[in-house]
Structure 1
């Protein structure tokens, strides 16, 4: 809360714009419920207020969505890697940070099924965000896993944003971090790929690239509201789900993110190229892929491509599970303080259960 107040007070005019948009949306929500009591309501009042806050922030005060930039102690996030700032190497953060660079507890051979390193890719359309912005969520998953006897460690990759370099710089950075884990002795059976939004798409692209480079597949993947369709099929004629999601500008911002990802017309790839769009892969080319857990809200703009990815996995014979949560918004499965506690509990159990099931399947 103190961090939030600091963010709001340092830019008073921006804060006033945010508060105006937020309060106006809440008033409209309440008026509709009052004046049209028999009109069918899709989302709960809690969800509608959450959407009002997040959409207001995304329109007027993007830093509020995850309170960027992030500042935190090394006990919570320890910087690792060999990146030199010019696109070579890789950098990331170990969470919890007290593990420092000591991964020995995770290098047992064979794995005993009770420890796992989650290689994480943050969201933000490949153009925004940073590796530490989900520390509270990761710490919650670590605690949840500990309750089930699993030692969990996150390595969140600080991949180059598309303002620095287009595809494949993001995928290459993620793969280098994966190679590092393998080289220091972490078994692939003890590694899970995980990401949200663009980070979910990056996990898929990286798993495909790992096979191309002769690297083993990780034990499994967890994809939170994955964004992967660079062909923008669900945006033809406009994506109506922006009316129920909080990414209110998605019909204009997502095409912009695609152009940045592909290199503003300089890329040799088109949006429907299988090299950048896994939805255009043939089922036969995916048969080796690791098990995929897809968590998506029913009210968010990535809903259709999540369903399409699950359908493609089914055709390919890839183990997968698709969870579509009623009325939820983009990246709901991160489990923010807005989320209904019961939905958060159920989702956390699904995340940790998927990890436990697949790292233990190798013992």
Structure 2
């Protein structure tokens, strides 16, 4: 809240636009509820208010949503590691060790989202703290290694895959079995996890125990944006029809958007065969919904164990479990993640 008010005071013109957009949306939500009380609604009032705040933020103050940039972060919360890559161990007091055969402890290599153009490795500290605590209550010991991969303005693809796989190699070289490693990421980070699994297979590296994809952004062919993506009307990324193609073009580095090297939805069945089990969590109201469904179908056809969870009405990144998300949905989703990881660790 303090950071929000600092941003508003430092940027008065943007602040007026943000407050106008947020306030107007709240007014329209209220008027619709009063004047059209019997009209069926796809999203709950809580979700509509969530969308009003996050859509206004994403358009005028995108840094608000994940409190960027991260500053004054003590090493006890996030400890920097790596030489060929940069990563943060979360919690910082945890060691990157796993006893051989331990089926209740793992290291989760995390790739943050942001269209490959925004974000940083420590921006989900609050969520990771919650997952570590919740996992412990479920009998699961989790340590995160969040990767600080290059953003597009620093280097286009394949630099992001190289950084992520360097983090994977770092764990393997430190004696951690791939059976105790989970890939996890959101949005572009979810796509990066899949690409890294495929790249590991091409380079004869062992597959991790499993993957957890939160609202994965995958389709660089922009197939779901042909004619416009109507799901921006129920998602908070209201400018996606304009911003997503821009992010894609900056990241592609001359590679065709339908190349299987950077688009798992265009991989052949044989290319997908043998990769690790994949959990896909998508919201029913988010712009990346179809991509998640398409990936699940492709993996199923390739004989890869997968589970697709589509949560009614939820928006992009709902599975991170922000305070806006209904606590019932948050607890349910966290439980799905913990159970999936435990099943992956138990799978020989």
Q: Which moved more, 1:160-169 or 1:30-39?
A: 30-39
The separation in 2 between residues aligned to 1:361 and 1:308, in whole angstroms, is 25
Q: Which residue of 1 aligns with 2:61?
A: 61
Tell me how far 1:361 sits from its aligned partner: 2.3
Tell me how far 1:357 sits from its aligned partner: 1.2
The separation in 2 between residues aligned to 1:7 and 1:334, in whole angstroms, is 24
- Give a deviation string over 1:113-133, Cα, whole Å, max 9, x none: 111100000000000000100
The separation in 2 between residues aligned to 1:14 and 1:74, in whole angstroms, is 34
Q: Which residue of 1 aligns with 2:188?
A: 198
SS at 1:221's partner residue? strand
Q: Quick check: 1:309 aligned with 2:295? A: yes
Tell me how far 1:23 sits from its aligned partner: 0.5
The separation in 1 between residues aligned to 2:117 and 2:25, in whole angstroms, is 28
Q: Which residue of 2 aligns with 1:43?
A: 43
C-alpha contact 2:105 2:142 (8 A) present in aligned 1: yes
Tell me how far 1:159 sits from its aligned partner: 0.2
Q: Which residue of 2 aligns with 1:122?
A: 112
Q: Quick check: 1:323 aligned with 2:309? A: yes
Q: Quick check: 1:103 aligned with 2:96? A: yes
Q: Which residue of 1 aligns with 2:227?
A: 237
The separation in 2 between residues aligned to 1:350 and 1:305, in whole angstroms, is 20
Q: Which residue of 1 aligns with 2:23?
A: 23
C-alpha contact 1:112 1:360 (8 A) present in aligned 2: no
The separation in 1 between residues aligned to 2:216 and 2:286, in whole angstroms, is 11
Kindly report which structure 2 residues correspond to 1:179-190, keeping only aligned pairs within 5 A, or say none. Answer: 179-190=169-180
The separation in 2 between residues aligned to 1:114 and 1:50, in whole angstroms, is 35
> Among 258, 261, 269, which residue is 2:251 paired with?
261
Q: Which residue of 2 aligns with 1:85?
A: none
Tell me how far 1:160 sits from its aligned partner: 0.1
Q: Which residue of 2 aligns with 1:151?
A: 141
The TM-score with structure 2 as length reference comes to 0.98
Tell me how far 1:98 sits from its aligned partner: 1.2
SS at 1:357's partner residue? helix
The separation in 1 between residues aligned to 2:75 and 2:18, in whole angstroms, is 32
Q: Which residue of 1 aligns with 2:344?
A: 358
Kindly report which structure 2 residues correspond to 1:246-257, keeping only aligned pairs within 5 A, or say none. Answer: 246-257=236-247
Tell me how far 1:17 sits from its aligned partner: 1.9
- Give a deviation string over 1:41-100, Cα, whole Å, max 9, x none: 110000000000000011111111111101221111111111xxxxxx21011100112x
SS at 1:98's partner residue? coil
State the superposition RMSD in angstroms. 1.0
- Give a deviation string over 1:272-305, Cα, whole Å, max 9, x none: 1111100001112111110000000000000001
Unaligned runs of 5+ in 2: none
The separation in 2 between residues aligned to 1:6 and 1:135, in whole angstroms, is 21
C-alpha contact 1:118 1:193 (8 A) present in aligned 2: yes
- Give a deviation string over 1:216-263, Cα, whole Å, max 9, x none: 000000000000100000000000000000000000100001101112
> Among 211, 218, 221, which residue is 1:221 paired with?
211
Unaligned runs of 5+ in 1: 83-88
Tell me how far 1:12 sits from its aligned partner: 3.1
User: How many pairs align?
Assistant: 347
Q: Which residue of 2 aligns with 1:79?
A: 80
Q: Which residue of 2 aligns with 1:132?
A: 122
Q: Which residue of 1 aligns with 2:279?
A: 293
The separation in 1 between residues aligned to 2:301 and 2:125, in whole angstroms, is 36
